[in-house]
Amino acid sequence: MKKTVCDLTVTSNIQLNHDNYLLRLHADKKLGKIIPGQFVNILVPGSPGTFLRRPFSVFDVNYDENTLSVLVKTVGGGTHKLSLLEINQRVNAIFPLGNGFSLPQKQEKILLVGGGVGIAPMMIMAKESKEIGADVHILLGAQSRRDHILIDQFSELGSVYITTDDGSLGTKGFVTHHPVLNNNEGFNRVYCCGPDPMMKAVAKISKSHGTECEVSLENTMACGFGVCLCCVTKTKSGNKCVCTEGPVFNVKDLSWQI
């Protein structure tokens, strides 16, 4: 889909837990196809201190209602302002940006791994993969029970596995300790988004099983369209901008020591 710069109208902004908000935005013009893993760059309204746009993975799209949703975790000034948005307020956004995940084939067995707010692109990915007819498994990790959100919604799309660092919900430990990832369970593809150390560990396990693995990087960005070069990552074919040539990379192409 061609990139669009436009004002979107807030249709809901739901607080999901202590620091996560689900923001649904309506577009006046018909939305084109958005690929799971692509992101939207949002200008924070009324916030001169956060003049650079903030990137968010597309969490969900409803083409009938012409809305897209993003999951916002409040970490600083920009995300705090977005958490306060009210219905009918307008935000300027550029989308869809980046490349997106490779979609699975029908009947392929896939594992989606999301850590923290890295679960965001996994909702739209799970939805589309289920529609294709893939066998969808979803591993969600967070620090504690209070940090887990949207488990019921994910459960409608596939088999869900949970970890918490403190053992307050699901299997105790990191996602990388969960048997569904560690036992070679015949996945055709693994998709992952979360903190870098987690993605590297998931990539290493997938590699040891000979399983294709794609990761969505969340490097800090400024322009979001390949001009400022602040988001580059090292790959086997040189430095690449995460905003234009990612955020999704096959781990085989990254210069990760795994």
14 touches ligand FES (CB under 6 A): no
Residues ≥6 apart with Cβ < 8 Å to 101: 35, 36, 37, 121, 125, 191, 214, 216, 248
Among 31, 35, 71, 241, binds ligand FAD (CB under 6 A): 71
197 touches ligand FAD (CB under 6 A): no
Residues ≥6 apart with Cβ < 8 Å to 155: none
Structure tokens at 257: 């020591």
Closer by beta carbon to ligand FES, 53 or else 81: 53
Provide, rounded to whole angstroms, the least separation between the CB of residue 243 and ligand FES. Answer: 3
Provide, rounded to whole angstroms, the least separation between the CB of residue 211 and ligand FAD. Answer: 23
138 burial type by CB count under 10 A (0-12 exposed, 13-18 middle, 19+ buried): buried
Closer by beta carbon to ligand FAD, 187 or else 246: 246
Stretch that binds ligand FAD, among 5-13, 130-138, 182-190, 217-225 (CB under 6 A): 217-225
CA 254 to CA 258: how far, in whole Å?
Answer: 10
257 burial type by CB count under 10 A (0-12 exposed, 13-18 middle, 19+ buried): exposed
Judged by CB under 6 A, the chain residues 171 through 230 that form the site for ligand FES are 221-224, 226-230
Beta-strand (E) ranges in 35-120?
Answer: 39-43, 54-57, 60-62, 67-73, 90-97, 109-115
* Residue 220, binding choice from ligand FAD, ligand FES, none, Cβ under 5 to 8 Å by partner class: ligand FAD
CA 243 to CA 79: how far, in whole Å?
Answer: 19
Structure tokens at 132: 């294709």
Closer by beta carbon to ligand FAD, 76 or else 197: 76
Closer by beta carbon to ligand FAD, 77 or else 133: 77
Provide, rounded to whole angstroms, the least separation between the CB of residue 45 and ligand FAD. Answer: 13
Judged by CB under 6 A, the chain residues 27 through 56 that form the site for ligand FAD are 39, 50, 54-56
CA 170 to CA 16: how far, in whole Å?
Answer: 19
Binding mask 227-246 for ligand FES (x = CB under 6 A): xxxxx---------x-x---
73 touches ligand FAD (CB under 6 A): yes
- Residue 45: what are its φ and ψ, rounded to 5°? -70, 145
Binding stretches for ligand FES (CB under 6 A): 221-224, 226-231, 241, 243
